[in-house]
Amino acid sequence: MAKVRVFALAKELGLKSSSLIKALNHMGVPNLTPASAIDGETAVAVRELLMEQLAKARERAKEAEQPEAPVAETVSEPQQAPVAPPVEADVAQQQEVAAAVPEPDDESEIKEREQELAMLERQIAGHGFGPSHPAAYSSIEDLEQRIAQVEATADAEPRPDAVLPLPELAKRHSGPRPETATEVPAVVTVLGHVDHGKTSLLDALRNTRVVAGESGGITQHIGASELEVNGKRIVFIDTPGHQAFTAIRARGAQITDVAVLIVAADDGIMPQTVEAINHAKAADVPIIVAINKCDLPTANPERVKQQLLEHELVPEEWGGETIVVEISATTGQGLDDLVEMLLLVGEVQELWADPTADFVGVVIEAGVATSEGAVCTLLTRNGTLRVGDSLVAGSHFGRVRRLRDWTGKSVKEMDPGRPVEVIGLSGTPDAGEIVTRAAGPKEAREIASAREEQARQHDIEASRAAALRELFAGMRSGEVEQLSVIIKADVYGSAQALEANLMDLDSRLDEVDIEVIHVGVGPVTESDVMLARASEAIILAFRVDYAPAVSQTAEVEGVEIRPYQIIYEVLDDIVAAVSGMLKPVVETRPIGKAEVLQIFRSSRAGVVAGCRVVEGRLQRNAKINVVRNGESVHQGTLNSLRRFEQDVSQVEAPAECGVATEGYRGWQVGDIIEATIEVEMERRVSLTGEMKVQRDHG
């Protein structure tokens, strides 16, 4: 018989996966998870045992309904039809049922069991069991009435939405579902190292061409899309893989239900792969590992699986819980298996939302379109979004003028759990911002204004704290160099990622202060140029254009606009600029030694020491240390160096020469001259803030 997943059997029986696992454990089937597969015979056995338990529960409920009889009648002959004694097999089966599903021992567990049995009763009614089946016994109205009372009480309680902070509103729901709840697709975040094939995988799954439009083949910002398989949907959040997008990737992991970790079979686990693992673990979501490029001759999937062990990801085939699928985005190998696993892990989590509830969404990305204004991509979490709704997203607000699904098709409304593009907000909210619905445009404006004022007050306090930190830093280390920048980008996610990386770099530097004057979305304007002129800043234009008039204004005002298409080029340039502002390190290097053999007097140079260079070289203007009997007797500068009556710049061993230095005439035969030079070495800083000295080994 075919195997069946635990969560699927629990869903069929109307039970929680945890309750079914408990029953299976008592039946002698240990170490199960909702995604575990059990054989068909075990599935049949647990169905029969639970049906029998349901029948017993109904009998107990009927007995509880009957009025209590007088004591005298209780001891008399029972007034009911004789029942044939159970056969030996029935007795054994009842004992097995008792072992498989132990009797509850506290009131809360009794209530939970009763609710589950009532759900099972309703589920069985739709399966068409015949009258001979144990499930065909009389109904248990008292249990259903109790469940209805519990649900009515729950509905009467104050809704937690009214007091929850915004991030809490966007979390997945748990607990009993309302009758209006519907299943929602799992949100899958694709994580991994740059060039390991994340976008190519989504391209193969969605049958779209995304890579061709990306600069350098690298995804630049988050996008959302859907995949429908056999009537079931999966929502993909595609996050960039370069180190510069750590912040975006972290935001993607916060809203995801399943993380797909892409690892190239020929490369193995790389630094960004480790970052992706950490983000997924921090978000506490299941991880499915997709080993890509398995079609290459250099592919080594087994080595990748071995590397996964170092990060506590044990493949299922090795006795762990991590699903690992070998795929090729190029040939299509393993893609069906990957989709099946994504659907499986999503179903195990039993995700749901309420279309009738208050609308809550999360900003995935926001940008500015020339003809439409602010365009915001949302992931709807709860409730239904409709054209005409008034929305608030942080300090931005607006009325929905148009909705588009991920393919660009206009829609009137969007159900929960799906990505949608919204046009009509007053500005571009930050990625990760929580979006809620207001009663009307006036209320939306008031809420946004109040939040803007709160943000302004927060910025004032933060700037005061920053000013104090800068003051103390200046007192400790003296003058601080400052690099001021203005960031303009095509979408806010990229701008935010750039700002986060620059601020992280700034926090690691003592001698250079990186100040982000302004962060904006859209083309560079003359207003940006004038702001840069006033603050002596440079403008970083990431994937945005600017008009010839803006370029001319920048040239007149002496403002530099630096255009970029790939984000790590921006960061490399900033690192180079910061490194150029660092004071060089001065290092003293020994270059040679000489021994004084004879003393001469010269009318031009004064007292001259006749020397033989015994090691390295002597060099004019080098620093010298005169050592006599192991002690230093003079330190100065080698002002004159002559060989055969000619002035020379240096003399190498084992040649002889004449040495003279201003202010010293006390040479003695046998003195040792130690020559050194001072070398200025450039310092460079990495994105991690680590200082490196660029040494000249020549």
Task: Say how many C-beta atoms besides its own lie within 10 A of residue 2's C-beta.
Answer: 7
Torsion of CA 377, 382, 386, 390, to 10 degrees: -80
Task: Say how many C-beta atoms besides its own lie within 10 A of residue 669's C-beta.
Answer: 11
Q: Which helix (H) or strand (E) holds 381?
A: strand 373-382
Interatomic CA distance for residues 219 and 379, integer angstroms: 19
Characterize the bridge pairing of strands 323-326 and 390-393.
Answer: unpaired
* CA nearest to 259, candidates 232, 279, 233: 279
Close Cβ partners of 672 (under 8 Å, ≥ 6 residues apart): 593, 594, 595, 596, 626, 627, 628
89 backbone φψ class: left, alpha, beta (φ>0; ψ -120 to 50): alpha
At 118 the pLDDT is 53
Interatomic CA distance for residues 447 and 162, integer angstroms: 15
On the question of a common fold for 479-581 and 586-683, the answer reads: no
Q: Answer yes or no: are the C-beta atoms of 347 and 7 closer than 8 Å.
A: yes
At 59 the pLDDT is 74
Give me 22's structure tokens: 């408990």
Close Cβ partners of 264 (under 8 Å, ≥ 6 residues apart): 193, 195, 196, 197, 291, 292, 293
Q: Answer yes or no: are the C-beta atoms of 50 and 23 closer than 8 Å.
A: yes
- DSSP assignment of 125-151: HTTT--TTSGGGSPP-HHHHHHHHHHH
Q: Which residues pair with 377 in a beta bridge?
A: 365, 421
* CA nearest to 359, candidates 442, 283, 444, 284: 444
**Which one-letter amino acid corresponds to residue 238?**
D
At 415 the pLDDT is 92
Ordered by start, the domain boundaries in the chain are: 4-65+90-151, 163-170+178-183+354-478, 185-350, 479-581, 586-683
Strand residues in 90-185 grouped as ranges (E): 182-183
Interatomic CA distance for residues 637 and 25, integer angstroms: 87
Q: Which helix (H) or strand (E) holds 118?
A: helix 107-125
At 678 the pLDDT is 87
Architecture of domain 185-350: 3-Layer(aba) Sandwich (3.40)
Look up the CATH number of domain 479-581: 3.40.50.10050
At 208 the pLDDT is 52
Interatomic CA distance for residues 446 and 431, integer angstroms: 22
Mean pLDDT in consecutive groups of 10 residues from the start of the chain, 698 residues: 75 74 79 76 79 71 59 41 38 40 49 53 40 36 42 41 57 78 89 82 72 53 76 80 48 74 91 78 84 93 92 88 91 90 85 90 85 89 92 90 90 92 89 86 89 73 48 46 86 85 79 83 87 85 90 87 87 77 79 92 80 92 92 91 87 91 88 90 62 49
Q: Which residues pair with 598 in a beta bridge?
A: 610
At 203 the pLDDT is 83
* CA nearest to 376, candidates 257, 571, 521: 521
Q: Answer yes or no: are the C-beta atoms of 303 and 342 closer than 8 Å.
A: no
Can you give the pTM of this predicted structure?
0.57
Q: Answer yes or no: are the C-beta atoms of 660 and 602 closer than 8 Å.
A: yes
Interatomic CA distance for residues 250 and 41, integer angstroms: 44
Interatomic CA distance for residues 576 and 43, integer angstroms: 65
CA distances from 358 to 188, 326, 388, 426, 547 (A): 24, 41, 15, 21, 43
Give me 375's structure tokens: 């365009």
Q: Does domain 586-683 have CATH number 2.40.30.10?
A: yes
For domain 163-170+178-183+354-478, give its CATH number from 3.40.190.10, 2.40.420.20, 3.40.50.720, 2.40.30.10: 2.40.30.10
Interatomic CA distance for residues 408 and 387, integer angstroms: 15
Coil, strand or helix: which one is 449? Answer: helix
Angle, alpha carbons 631-635-641 (nearest 5°): 115
* Phi, psi (deg, nearest 5) at residue 438: -105, 165
* Phi, psi (deg, nearest 5) at residue 678: -100, 125
Q: Answer yes or no: are the C-beta atoms of 665 and 606 closer than 8 Å.
A: yes
Interatomic CA distance for residues 273 and 193, integer angstroms: 5
At 673 the pLDDT is 94
